[in-house]
A = this chain, B = another copy of it.
């Protein structure tokens, strides 16, 4: 019953709040640390965390990671917080700047450019301090991937806007998994899986409260926040979500974006029922 020494990394975006709503209340002794998805990936890799909500791409790359919970950050169609803003129709974009906070969405845009938009743009690294609006306006790139709270806030401000969750859905008909709870194999997590399940359940019972608080603190429209949490983001790692994750892994592996051998939990799903490799 004790997880006193466990260090758990959580994402500081709105989409994560329902997953972690009850976390400290259920397990006051957990050491919870918040960061951007890409930071969490580094911290877990460096051994500064035991468990973290990591970008699914990071999970793909680590054969020593296991999944600890059946909760995740998923979209099934439009997600509204993983966007490509563009000054031109995407089919004509010659350069795309990537979000420094992201790993998975940066990989997703690469997959989509090849398999859905049929373009081969130049990839531009953006630094943490670059405002993506300014980068775009100054012509630093034709298009820019923006994720999380920043994407919610920037929506509607550029001529072309593509929702990467929706584009994935058009390509595959499947949900897209953005982040999963990963644990280094062998770490003693006690009953953290159940704590995470109960935490999500508490969060789902308080979605409106979470949305309204976020709307206030991020200066967003409360209705947008409520719709976002209730309809855009899904928190259960369902079989269809696993199927979407498996397909994304295969595409990333094919394109050399991640290693070609999946972590064990994923390998298991890639064989029946989701077909061999």
Neighbour of A201 across the interface among B28, B198, B205, B206, CB < 8 A:
B198
Q: Does A195 contact B (CB under 8 A)?
A: yes
**Using a Cβ–Cβ cut-off of 8 Å, how many residues does chain A contribute to the interface with B?**
15
Chain B neighbourhood of A28, CB < 8 A: 205
Number of copies: 2
Q: Which residues of A in the span 184-241 have a Cβ within 8 Å of any Cβ on B?
A: 194-195, 197-198, 201-202, 204-206
Secondary structure dominating the interface of A? helix
CB atoms of B202 and A198 under 8 A apart: yes
CA distance in complex: A201, B205 (Å) = 16
Q: Does A25 contact B (CB under 8 A)?
A: yes
CA distance in complex: A84, B201 (Å) = 41
CB atoms of A204 and B22 under 8 A apart: no
Q: Which residues of A in the span 1-49 have a Cβ within 8 Å of any Cβ on B?
A: 1, 22, 25-28
CA distance in complex: A197, B28 (Å) = 18
Instruction: Write the nearest CB–CB distance from A209 to chain B, whole angstroms.
Output: 11
CB atoms of B205 and A26 under 8 A apart: yes
- Most chain B CB inside 10 Å of its own CB: which residue of A1, A195, A201, A205: A201
CA distance in complex: A26, B200 (Å) = 10
Q: Which A residues are closer than 8 A to B by beta carbons?
A: 1, 22, 25-28, 194-195, 197-198, 201-202, 204-206
A-B contact pairs, 11 of them (CB 8 A): A1-B204, A22-B202, A25-B206, A26-B205, A27-B205, A28-B205, A194-B197, A194-B201, A197-B198, A198-B198, A198-B202
